[in-house]
Amino acid sequence: MTAVQGTAVDIPTEDGIADAYLAQPGDGAAHPAVLLFMDAFGLRPHLRSMADRLAGAGYTVLVPNLFYRAGRAPLFDLPDFIDPQARPGTWKQIMPVMQALTGERAMRDAGAYLRWLAASPAVADGPVALTGYCMGARLALLTAGTYPERVAAAAGFHGGRLATDKPDSPHLVAGDVTAELYFGHADQDHSLPPEQIDRLEQALTEAGVRHRCEVYTGAPHGFTQADTAAYHREGDERHWSALLDLLARTF
């Protein structure tokens, strides 16, 4: 694991300025880029630590505050250990902000993040990889289909609503995806029931997308987030192994 440099950066978008965290190896060289899409709890110390871990493995990692339209991070009054059941008011804060981030807005922003990475001296030439968590898994899939020429690989973990019956469902971009995809689904996840898992698998297979979808038995929704009550150590370790394997194959 190499030394890591972490900095706060601002990214111009079509709708304003997105604050973000950039982690990179401390050697001053350009490295392959990973765009990390946050979960609904937002840009916070745990996500910065995840970015640092990826940077220590040799990648330049950008973690944007996807909710920048509502303000700079941190937006929510979160404890060091997040247990929404213990603080039911947490979701009342988060839901309106999350619902305001439409797919159209998110993909407009994703284009800005990808352009910023392409222009950064910290990033090696070529396409990038994506990884996303909870709502971020949905955005990773949408981004892979919206910007196929810029995305070489994308991973999503404990994602919800990946293959709904709505016209804006993420799985409908499968035909445009050229990246290799990996999904680690949470077991018995109410936001991704078995019929959606099957629908996603079918869409990716029929589109000829290189992919692997796995259900992590016993892992709850949010299993990678160590600062929450949903954390599941076995599932998290499996996630890191799968993600780093995907990145190694990509770059």
Q: What's the pLDDT at 79?
A: 81
Q: What percent of the chain clears pLDDT 90, i.e. is strictly above it?
A: 92
Q: What percent of the chain clears pLDDT 70, i.e. is strictly above it?
A: 99
Q: What's the pLDDT at 187?
A: 94
Q: What's the pLDDT at 89?
A: 79
What is the per-residue pLDDT across 22-58, written as a single tens digit (0 to 9) for each? 999 999 999 999 999 999 999 999 999 999 999 999 9
Mean pLDDT across the stretch 75-91? Answer: 81
What the block records as the tokens of 133 is 């968590």
Q: Using 50, 70 and 90 to split pLDDT, how confident is the model at 156?
A: very high
What is the per-residue pLDDT across 125-135, written as a single tens digit (0 to 9) for each? 999 999 999 99
Catalytic site positions:
134, 189, 221
Residue 5 pLDDT greater than 70, yes or no:
yes
C-alpha span between 168 and 41 (Å, rounded): 23
- CATH number for position 176: 3.40.50.1820
CA distances from 218 to 111, 154, 187, 190, 197 (A): 36, 24, 6, 13, 16
Least confident stretch, 1-5, 17-21, 45-49, 123-127 = 1-5
C-alpha span between 188 and 217 (Å, rounded): 8
Residue that wins the pLDDT comparison between 89 and 72 = 72
What is the chain's mean pLDDT, rounded? 96
Residue 180 pLDDT greater than 90, yes or no:
yes
pTM of the model: 0.97
Decide: helix, strand or coil at residue 198: helix
What is the per-residue pLDDT across 209-224, written as a single tens digit (0 to 9) for each? 999 999 999 999 999 9
Q: What's the pLDDT at 83?
A: 84
Q: What's the pLDDT at 86?
A: 62
- Containing structural domain, residue 113: 4-250
The number of folded domains in the chain is: 1
Decide: helix, strand or coil at residue 49: helix
Q: Using 50, 70 and 90 to split pLDDT, how confident is the model at 1?
A: low
CB atoms within 10 A of CB 4: 17
